[in-house]
Copies of this chain bind each other. A is one copy, B any other.
Amino acid sequence: MSRTTRKRMSRADRETQMLDVAEEVFAERNFAVATMDEIAERCGVSKPLLYDYFGSKEGLLTAAVNRARTELYEVTTAAMALGTEPRDILERGLVAYYTFATAHSRSFAVLIQEPMAATFDAVESVRRQQHGLIAPVIAAWAPHVEDERITAYTELIIGACERISLWAMHDGISPERAAAYTLDFCWDGLRVLVDPSP
């Protein structure tokens, strides 16, 4: 309780702590409603210190988004690296993605649910990263296909994943199930459901 026990922290530690708290607060309230005063208070710190570290409220959000983005990217990259053939690579990526989404729902909410202009650049760069991850896989295995189609398909997959992850989290669908549906859809499409002919 005593203020005397609160030790000063190194810049790096303080930053991590602040990002943790910010992630939490932005996820449970939302960006517009969250206040810097509350975040500061939960850190046990005064508001100007937040500004010293992140410059602005937007800056703080952006930093939080960027951190979450990096984690997500590393996790999916690592998972995909273990795969060998395209369907398998895709599946591993999807499972990793949805697993991250359910496990780190706070960070993920910050990533997906706040595409307001504030974070828009950061969120778009998440997508560019994902694009850079998916497009080469498709391109490598389908060399005769034009770039624009590859881009379109990649964007489709990204949008689909974002949407499914929200659905899965909301309805309590497991990452594996979500990944299975996504994979089936992306691989075979609707025809196999609707049209039994070859």
Contacts and interface: CB of A to CB of B under 8 A. Distances in A.
A74 to B, nearest CB: 23
A152 B138 contact: no
B156 A185 contact: yes
B142 A155 contact: no
Interface string A138-158: 100110010011011101111
A181 B156 contact: yes
A118 interface: yes
A90 B189 CA distance: 13
Contacts of A194: 86-87, 138, 141-142
A190 to B, nearest CB: 5
B193 A191 contact: no
A33 B117 contact: yes
Interface stretch (A46-54, A63-71, A108-116): A108-116
Interface residues of A, number: 50
Nearest to A90: B190
A125 to B, nearest CB: 14
B193 A189 contact: no
Interface string A60-95: 000000000000000000000000001100100000
Given A87-B194, A153-B181, A159-B159, 20 more contacts: A30-B117, A31-B116, A32-B32, A113-B117, A116-B116, A138-B190, A142-B194, A145-B193, A149-B181, A152-B181, A152-B182, A153-B185, A153-B190, A156-B181, A157-B160, A159-B160, A185-B186, A186-B190, A188-B189, A198-B198
9 contacts: A30-B118, A32-B32, A32-B116, A32-B117, A33-B117, A87-B195, A138-B190, A151-B167, A160-B163
Going nearest first, the 5 A-B pairs with the smallest beta carbon separation are A159-B163, A189-B189, A30-B117, A152-B181, A142-B193
